[in-house]
Structure 1
Amino acid sequence: MTKRELERIVQKASCRVFGWEDASNESHRQVLAEIIRTTHTSDTLILCEPSLTRSTTRPPDIVIVCPLRGIAVVEVKGFDLGAITSIDPGGGFVLHYEGGARGRNPFHQVRNAMFDIKDAAQRVHAGTLNIPFRYFVAMPRIKRVVWTAKWRESAPTPEQLIFQEDLSRLSPALLQAGMKRLEAIGRETWPAADLSAIQCAFGDTSVLFPIPEERPQRRVRETTLGEMFDEGAEVYKVLSDEQQKLSAQFWERGPRIVRGVAGSGKTIVLANNLARRIHRLERQPELFEERKDNLSFLVVCFNRTLVPFVEKKIETAYRQRTGASLPDGAVRVMAFNRLMWHLAEKGIWRYQKVFEKGKNDRDRAIQYLADLDYVKQNDTSTFDAFAYDAIYCDEGQDFLEEEFTLLSQLLRRNQTEPSLFVFYDDAQNLYGRARPNWQSLGLNVVGQRSHIMTECFRNTRQIVEVAFNVLYGTFAEHKSKVPSRAFGDVSTLVDKGLITEQDGYKKVHFAQRSGGRPIATAVPTENAENIHILNRLRWLIDEQEVRPEDILILGFRKERIEQLAVFLRSERNSGLPEIHVAFKEKDEILGQRHRLTMSTVASAKGYDAYCVLLVSACEFKTDVDSRATFYVACTRAIEYLEVTTYGQPDGLFAEFQHAIDQV
């Protein structure tokens, strides 16, 4: 079933169909087409992947809304029988992927989706919902007779399980059952108020069918890594409860600190909270008109390559909230050094080169503060023209205490407390910065002004747990040289039961999603590593159908990444796509469509990818800063992580191997 064939069926449909373009694979389109073909009532509504207005779960594949049939929620699973290695009586399947076995229970998934819809409708309904709700799991590539032959007596065949030969009978059977129930209670149709509540639960079309991520639909084989990543992308774009709560808070005055584990979505919260604030100000005409020319929000990060990523997050968050583009000039996103240059051009201070001889970062910050104080005292009009209403600081662990002081002094003079909002994770402290003393900075961040994000939604438990044990030197030769207190948030995680220890090994409980083990590969020489990486890329792209933009190749040193890029580009017959070297094009976003991304760990901080290949682990030292860098590299991987080295497999690579054996 192609997309074009489905389009022709939709054009001839007797019922109303919305969102059919989102049917992203052949199996989904096949089930949708069969339901449309066999539904001949014009007042029936068929929705494809509809999102609720308040949702923290992935939308179901198909929802049927009908005044005769009631509500039917359908989840489509396109794997064939050979992909299922085992089953359990509760409807759980264990599937074989190249990344390892993965358990799924589609019945739990679709049942939860059905209850989410029912609960959302009940919230807007004045009375009690009478319309019936049902759920189904459709497996269009498996026939019932083959299913029962393989599993015999243990084969689960509940009435909610729809096989290939059942597809054409589903809609007529729902119609017959619905009319029978209506006749029994003396009604002709289900209440209009119930149907209206269902539609209200889904919201308007801008919420029902949000602008899709830049992942075009494609055909891909089931149980490949490419299929796993595509399916994961649908789940990944839905906000968690924790992210929704922080995104919705009003931060008008005073500082805020948001601490969070890697992968908890700190940047997403930043983008959503700022987009919400700008939209709220736009809806207050008298305030916005009064100050629209100088209302100014700043987002600052330490890493220049992170700027386009943060800009895109804010623009997307605003568009999803309003359906419109972000107003020009409403917010500026700049790297810290670029901000210093920008304000030097405006006459705030004299620019100081980052590598100016005899000065370190602390010296520069102190000098900037002295220059700024002079301008504030003697040229208030210049300062006021370029001061900010609020500053959002992403990846705050990269900043010195003096730099936070400097940022707080860039806020408007009429603020009794600085509106400085800092997002950080000291486990990702690449530059060895000491944790600031917020009180000495004049930042009151106690109580409700301090938030801790404790759920890692990005990485699998296996990835983050292995990386965490390398970070803390669980298998280090000289453990006394690993000062665990360098990463102060661990005590908080231990207190909350999110980390436990078993024989010295740290088990992680803040990452709920499970996946395959990371892979460690050692080869004799650097050239052998080049060839290995080339072969892995061919395997990932050609055999596993992984999109190039889902692959991120990381290294510790620029020189090593440049050498590897030259080698990969020299293989003209390799069939590899175009390569983007991040630190060569600092103002371009990473993960561009149809391009492989190569980067140092420092340049990729803040980004992520479904598949990460970390090369030349032998170049990492075993000190605290290198451990933090290794941890950041590993936690860029959402689903698949492979670390390679050449020569003797020792140091952090050996610790990584030991951790894999324990996970």
Structure 2
Amino acid sequence: MVENTVAETLPSGSSRQIPEGMPADSPLRVICYLESSLKILDEQQQEIASKYPDGPQRIRGLAGTGKTILLVKRAAKIHYEHPDWKLAFVFFTRSLYNQIKERISTYYGELSEGREPNWDNLKVLHAWGGKERDGFYRRLAIECGMQPKTVKDVENEIGKVSPGGAFKYVCNILEIEITNFPILYDVILIDEAQDLPASFYRLARNTLSEPKRLYWAYDEAQGIDSLIVPDATKIFGRNPDGTPVVDLGLASNGSFFYEGTNIRKSENLNRCYRTPKSLLMAAHAVNMGLLRQGGVLQGVSNQQEWKKLGYNVLEGDFSDASVKARKQVKIERQVEKSPHPIDRENFEVREGIKDLLALQTFHDESEEQEWIAQQVAKDLQAGLAPSDLMITAIAAEKEQDYFCRLQEALKYYGVKSCIVGTDSDPSEFGKPDCVTIANIYRAKGNEAWKVYACRFHCATQPSAWKKENELQKRNEAFVAMTRARVWCVVTGLENPIFDELRTAKEQFPFLIFPAFNKNSLKRVIDEQKSE
């Protein structure tokens, strides 16, 4: 039975009323309609959230499939049923801290007749942490009598690197230095697991009591710094007898279920609630490079894996012969895997939708900033609230300067804005009555009705000092586009990435691209097998 107790990806709170005289084609009508719609978890998610195994579990899911909500509900339920257990809910995006804590409190209150969780036993932890905010790494280092390293320490030791690179460095060192791991937790839930290095997983597991209840949720398409596909055998290794240290049932002789239960060791979520189908398909096309002039870069390489992502392969295959002959593959998204109300034929306020994916290119970035400021001002005049909007950008040189100049342009048009982490507490995502501007690291995990994804030309331009490659930049592009609940406006300087987006729009509701397989990809994201 489906329970209608959880706001899946839509905002909490009461829905807005449509002002009298609002035009039929107003985007505000779309938002008001969606806010008043029933917000639910589907049966699969309810079951996964409520049934937790005595052992590790991996949850793989697309952007917008409800991974965070699922883990939050599970944390609340475990804490309610086992109040003496020590729990840690770990994540990588600092701006999610207050949201996660508030949601756990809400769901725990529903179970406990309004009581507050015991935060001494249920810790909400940033993966790294700092002097002003507790974190998993920092807490573990101190518990082991070691001085936790800061971002500044990393810069002094190895130079300036990306956030993910810096965190990998400190975790690798801590893993080597700890000789006797303390048992600190009975359960660890990890959100955004694709952003964390392999050493972090091992650190987490080693701090758990038996039976090592480590639950991690991830989407490899959203890995910005790390390109790891969190495969248990590669991360945790094997026992002396050759069996996996962490068994997810993927071996040819393994069981997918925990003995005597219907709880799976590995779950796959592919119903995308947040992002409309056309946006998700275009985002996948850009992420994998399906329409890239130089060939596909990353992706899943057989029909069964496409099905796990929620797609049907209508024509073509991924054989060596098809790749060699450059034959075409045609796919479509399964209707039941894209339940966004906008994708229904009978959506009632279709006049207000207009262009879900808008593309705009410019000669220079000052022209881009001016245009965005004008459009945001028009959005607010049309009745949208500042909180309905988010501006993010593909990471590139002089990012802070770019955002400050954009903020000045917005100010000229009378628009108040907040640069997350500069104008606000890093644990908060924006301020009331301000349009939120966030870099891609802080935007990840958050969402808005309308998203401006700027500097999109940088998706094909890796930064040398970060030692990036194009795979990471395209992951950033995927993250930016899938922050949108309805509309995404992609802007930047003219670049081949815009040709890919135009082609994706033209091909919808299909994607048609040259055949590829494991031998022709730079990164394979098929379900990993533990042979």
Q: TM-score range by the shorter chain?
A: 0.7 to 0.9
Matched residue, 2:104: 314
Matched, 1:507 2:332: yes
Q: What is aligned with 2:350?
A: none
Q: Tell whether the 8 Å contact from 2:458 to 2:473 is kept in structure 1 after alignment.
A: no
What do residues 14-61 of structure 1 show as CA deviations (whole Å, max 9, x unaligned)? xxxxxxxxxxxxxxxxxxxxxxxxxxxxxxxxxxxxxx9933899xxx
Taking the aligned partners of 1:347 and 1:234, their CA distance within structure 2 comes to: 50
The residue type equivalent to 2:505 in the other structure is: I
How far is the alpha carbon of 1:525 from its aligned partner?
2.2
With over 3 angstroms needed to count, the CA separation of the structure-2 counterparts of 1:258 and 1:233, relative to structure 1, is: same
Counterparts of 1:597 and 1:564, CA distance in 2:
11
Q: Relative to 1, partners in 2 of residues 1:236 and 1:504: Cα closer, same or farther, differing over 3 Å? A: farther
User: Are 2:505 and 1:660 equivalent residues in the alignment?
Assistant: yes
Q: Does 1:433 align with 2:239?
A: no
Does structure 1 residue 445 correspond to structure 2 residue 248? Answer: yes
Q: Distance in 2 between matches of 1:365 and 1:454?
A: 31
Shift of 1:505: 5.1
Over 3 Å counting, the alpha-carbon distance change for 1:567 and 1:539 in structure 2 is: same
Distance, in Å, in 2 between the alignment partners of 1:302 and 1:572 is 31
SS at match of 2:185: coil
**Aligned AA for 1:311?**
K
Matched, 1:614 2:447: no
**How far has the Cα of 1:348 moved from its partner?**
4.1
Per the alignment, residue 556 of structure 1 pairs with 394
CA distance in 2, matches of 1:460, 1:471: 16
The superposition leaves residues 592-645 of structure 1 with CA deviations (integer Å, 9 ceiling, x where unpaired) of 432211111121111111110111212222611111110111001010111011
Shift in Å at residue 310 of structure 1?
2.0
**Residue aligning to 2:357:** 518
Q: Give, as a single letter, the amino acid of the residue that structure 1 aligns with 2:228.
A: A
Looking at structure 1, the residues matched to 420 and 310 of structure 2 have their Cα atoms a distance apart, in angstroms, of 40
What TM-score, normalized to structure 2? 0.74
Three-state SS of the structure 2 residue aligned to 1:420 is strand
* C-alpha distance in structure 1 between counterparts of 2:232 and 2:299, whole Å: 21
In structure 2, the partner of 1:626 is 473
Counterpart contact for 2:94–2:427, Cα < 8 Å: no
Task: After TM superposition, list the pairs within 5 Å mapping 1:212-251 onto structure 2.
Answer: 213-214=12-13, 217-220=16-19, 221=22, 223-235=25-37, 237-251=39-53
Q: Hey, what's the Cα distance between the residues in 1 that align with 2:421 and 2:277?
A: 28
CA–CA distance in 1 between the matches of 2:146 and 2:485? 42
SS of 1:235's equivalent? coil
The aligned runs of 1:97-496 (5 Å cut-off) are: 213-214=12-13, 217-220=16-19, 221=22, 223-235=25-37, 237-251=39-53, 253-282=54-83, 288=84, 295-322=85-112, 323-338=114-129, 339-354=136-151, 355-356=154-155, 357-358=157-158, 362=168, 364-374=170-180, 376=181, 383-384=182-183, 387-412=184-209, 415=210, 417-439=211-233, 441=236, 442-446=245-249, 447=256, 448-479=264-295, 482-484=297-299, 491-494=304-307
Distance change in 2, residues 1:325/1:592 (3 Å): farther
- Residue aligning to 1:196: none
Instruction: Give the partner amino acid of 2:495.
Output: D
CA distance in 2, matches of 1:351, 1:369: 12
Residue of structure 2 in register with 1:498 after alignment = 311
Does the 8 Å contact 1:550/1:591 carry over to 2?
no
For the residue of structure 2 that corresponds to 1:418, the secondary structure is strand
CA distance in 1, matches of 2:233, 2:102: 33
| Alignment partner, residue 487 of structure 2 | 640
Q: CA offsets per residue over residues 174-207 of structure 1, 9 Å max, x none? A: xxxxxxxxxxxxxxxxxxxxxxxxxxxxxxxxxx
Partner Cα distance (2:216, 2:272) in 1 = 19
Structure 1 residue 574, shift from structure 2 partner: 2.1
Q: Which residue in the other structure is 2:376 paired with?
A: 537
SS of residue paired to 2:124? strand
CA distance in 1 between counterparts of 2:314 and 2:288 reads 12
CA separation in 1, counterparts of 2:115 and 2:6? 25
Residues of 2 paired with 1:633 and 1:466: CA distance? 12
Partner of 1:419: helix, strand, or coil? strand
Identity %: 19
Call closer, same or farther: CA 1:575–1:367 in 2, change over 3 Å: closer
| 1:582 shift after superposition | 4.3
Once residues 261 and 403 of structure 1 are traced to their aligned partners in structure 2, the CA distance between those partners, rounded to angstroms, is: 22
Q: Are residues 301 and 238 of structure 1, via their aligned partners in 2, closer, same or farther at CA, if it must alter by over 3 Å?
A: same
The whole-number CA distance in structure 2 between the counterparts of 1:439 and 1:629 is 27
Letter of the aligned partner of 2:12 in structure 1? E
Q: What does the per-residue CA deviation read over 1:514-533, in whole Å, with 9 as the maximum and x for residues that have no partner?
A: 26541101122222111211
Structure 2 residues not aligned, in runs of 5+: 130-135, 160-164, 237-244, 250-255, 257-263, 316-327, 344-352, 462-469, 509-531
Q: 1:256 to 1:519 in 2, by over 3 A?
A: same
**CA-CA distance at 1:316 after TM superposition:** 2.4
* Contact 1:613/1:643, CA 8 A, preserved across alignment: yes
Please report how far the alpha carbon of residue 214 of structure 1 lies from its aligned counterpart in structure 2 after TM superposition. 4.0
Whether the 8 Å CA contact 2:55–2:213 is kept in 1: the answer is yes
Give the number of the structure with larger relative contact order, counting CA–CA contacts within 8 Å between residues 6 or more apart. 2
Superposed CA RMSD in Å reads 2.9
Between the aligned partners of 1:53 and 1:621, the Cα distance in structure 2 is 43
Greater CA deviation, 528-537 or 440-449?
440-449
Q: Alignment partner of 2:359: what SS?
A: strand
1:603 maps to 2:442: yes
Structure 2 counterpart of 1:603, one-letter code:
R
Matches within 5 A, 1:575-614: 575-582=414-421, 585=424, 587-590=426-429, 592-614=431-453
Whether contact under 8 Å (1:470, 1:652) holds in the other structure is yes
Write the letter of the residue equivalent to 1:500. Answer: V
Contact 1:565–1:579 under 8 Å retained in 2: no
CA distance in 2: counterparts of 1:236 and 1:350, whole angstroms? 49
- Whichever of the two has the greater Rg, that structure is 1
Q: Distance in 2 between matches of 1:659 and 1:439?
A: 36
CA contact (8 A) 2:374 2:410 kept: no
Contact 2:61–2:218 (CA under 8 A) maintained in structure 1: yes
- In the aligned structure 2, how far is the partner of 1:314 from the partner of 1:57? 12
In structure 2, the partner of 1:193 is: none
Distance change in 2, residues 1:635/1:582 (3 Å) = farther
